[in-house]
Amino acid sequence: MTKSQRTTAPPSPPVLGPRALSRATLARQLLLSRSPMSATAAVEHLLGLQAQNVKPPYYALAARLDGFTPEALSRPLADREVVRIVTLRSTIHTHTADDCLTLRPLVQAARDRELHHFRAGLAGVDLDRLAVRARALVEEEPRTMKELREALLEDWPDADPQALSVAARCKLPLVQITPRGLWGRSGQVRLTTAERWLGRPAEPAQAPDATVLRYLAAFGPASVKDMQTWAGLTRLREAFERLRTRLVTFRDENGTELFDLPDAPRPDPDTPAPPRFLPEFDNLLLSHADRTRVVPPELKGRHWSGNVAYRTLLVDGFLAGLWRLDDDALVIEPFGRLDRARRAEVTAEAERMLGVLHPGRRYDVRFGTVRE
């Protein structure tokens, strides 16, 4: 072989360990230092907030934003700049109006696949006709799921009632109208279409490339499988390959290829990470296939019990315990011993969070049983 025929193997991508991935993701998630951006801008940057319950988006933003108040999210919800809708992973998310109209079409294929699990209860049901009927019902007036189910049963009396309501939710972009979702307000879940609520049509489903870039900006560095876990989609490899020349690549300690934006923040692994109190179902803990950047391997599954997720405490950027609000106390249950300095930092962060979300109400901050 002549010298000119020799080829040099391309250099191996740099390896990022859990601490490096922790700091990079925390920075993107606005959890390494709090951001001055508005609540609506943060919801957009984060591509939505998990919102099965009303309060989690407020706790999520209180942990991430400087100067946040509950009204900062309630106001755009009431003004229809932000909405609650089933999107990613078939769960309710708080999205900006623009993302509601673009992300929901992107994940529609996953909602269609979800219906396969209910096909026995939908025997003989024309799903296209059901979508037309359900749209007419909820656009005539917002309806509860019970009201919608009962109306659909008039057309398909032999169908499974639950399957009918799931089919309507999967076929249509149904948003939960206010006052549902407003801080300190109560209200039944009443539904109408995103188009009716927002006064403009949804956009046709587009290639996922732009969403890949936004996902990396909020959750990267990440693998293809990570994004597929976040979105509840499959077959995203092609989009990453189309974007490869615009991205940089790394490997994790298991050899998995990770993609990232060239100029995205990747802080030093030793960058201090302050304590943070996160709500149940926070996106930080749900948006990667490999969650060791947040959840140490020995704590895998400790923040779940069946289908129930607990509120979580981060210390030094990693899952370190659970927390709950009792009648008069915020109770912290760490997974290991915290030294005096750490306890002081955690207490200060707890008091700050309580002052933001529960001003004027007195809570004691208590450390409960250590969960060994």
Tokens of 203: 């956009």
User: What letter represents residue 324's amino acid?
Assistant: R
Q: CA–CA separation, 203 vs 97, rounded Å?
A: 12
Q: What is the pLDDT of residues 127-170, one digit of tens each?
A: 999 999 999 999 999 999 999 999 999 999 999 999 999 999 99
Q: CA–CA separation, 112 vs 146, rounded Å?
A: 22
The dihedral built from the CA positions of residue 21, 22, 24 and 30, taken in this order, carries a sign that is: positive
User: Which residue in 258, 244, 251 sits closest to 209, CA to CA?
Assistant: 244
Residue 96 CA: distances (Å) to CA of 339, 361, 372: 41, 31, 40
Residue pair 174/119 in contact (Cβ under 8 Å)? The answer is no
Q: What is the pLDDT of residues 267-307, one digit of tens each?
A: 999 999 999 999 999 999 999 999 999 999 999 988 888 87
Q: What is the pLDDT of residues 350-367, one digit of tens each?
A: 999 999 999 988 899 999
Q: What is the pLDDT of residues 26-35, one digit of tens each?
A: 999 999 999 9
Long-range contacts of 246-254 (CB under 8 A, 24+ apart): 246/213, 247/216, 249/13, 250/13, 250/14, 250/15, 250/16, 250/221, 251/12, 251/13, 251/14, 251/15, 251/16, 252/15, 252/16, 252/17, 252/21, 252/223, 252/290, 253/15, 253/17, 253/18, 254/290
Q: CA–CA separation, 104 vs 205, rounded Å?
A: 8
DSSP 8: P
Tokens of 332: 């912290």
**Which residues, at least 6 apart from 94, have a Cβ–Cβ distance to it below 8 Å?**
43, 48, 49, 51, 57, 73, 77, 82, 83, 84, 181
User: Which residue in 230, 221, 271 sits closest to 251, CA to CA?
Assistant: 221
What is the reported pLDDT for 7?
58
Distance of CA 239 to the CA centre of its chain: 21
User: Which residue in 327, 321, 328 sits closest to 368, CA to CA?
Assistant: 321
Q: CA–CA separation, 228 vs 222, rounded Å?
A: 10
* 167 three-state secondary structure: helix
Q: CA–CA separation, 312 vs 334, rounded Å?
A: 10
Q: What is the pLDDT of residues 333-349, one digit of tens each?
A: 999 999 999 999 999 99
* 207 three-state secondary structure: coil
Longest dimension (CA), the chain: 81
Which run of H or E residues covers position 74? helix 71-78
What is the reported pLDDT for 202?
86
Q: What percent of the chain has pLDDT over 90?
A: 88
**Which residues, at least 6 apart from 12, have a Cβ–Cβ distance to it below 8 Å?**
251
DSSP 289: S
Q: CA–CA separation, 155 vs 275, rounded Å?
A: 54
Residue 9 confidence class, pLDDT cut points 50, 70, 90:
low
Q: What is the pLDDT of residues 313-323, one digit of tens each?
A: 999 999 999 99
Q: CA–CA separation, 53 vs 343, rounded Å?
A: 29
Q: CA–CA separation, 363 vs 351, rounded Å?
A: 8
Angle between helices 161-171 and 127-140 (to 10 degrees): 80
Distance of CA 356 to the CA centre of its chain: 22
Residue 48 confidence class, pLDDT cut points 50, 70, 90:
very high
Task: Using alpha carbons only, give the angle 298, 230, 22 rounded to the nearest 5 degrees.
Answer: 45
Angle between helices 145-155 and 161-171 (to 10 degrees): 110
DSSP 159: S
